[in-house]
Amino acid sequence: MLTEKHKKYDLMSKLVIVGDAAVGKTNILLRLTEDHFRLLHNSTIGVDFKIKTLQVDSKKIKFTIWDTAGQDRFRTITQNYYRGSDGVIFTYSISDKNSFNNM
């Protein structure tokens, strides 16, 4: 266990990004963690995650942000990553009403 002297953050939080395939979950993850947007990229297979650390007042907060695959074939795998999460980012496409209804 790390001592207070070696601790790199004060709080840790797990966020999960969910939604149908091709609604922009990966781009939300990239925008939050790397401040960029890709027009083209490969579909997420299973899950991916990135870490973002923010300083709020005197506290350092470490976020693990999980990008889940939207394809039905990965649903049983990705649902395991919902456990223990502190928040969910629901994602849908404004040009696909079904992606909103599926939320």
pLDDT band at 22 (very low <50, low <70, confident <90, very high): confident
Asked if 21 and 27 touch (Cβ cutoff 8 Å), the reply is no
Tens of pLDDT, residue by residue over 53-101, are 999 999 999 999 998 876 565 466 556 777 889 999 999 999 999 999 9
Domains defined for the chain, CATH in brackets:
11-101 (3.40.50.300)
pLDDT of residue 21: 87
Asked if 20 and 92 touch (Cβ cutoff 8 Å), the reply is yes
pLDDT of residue 78: 58
Model confidence, pTM: 0.77
To the nearest 5 percent, what fractions of the chain are helix, strand and coil? 25, 35, 40
Tens of pLDDT, residue by residue over 32-53, are 999 887 776 777 766 788 999 9
Task: Give Cα 69 to chain centroid, integer Å.
Answer: 11
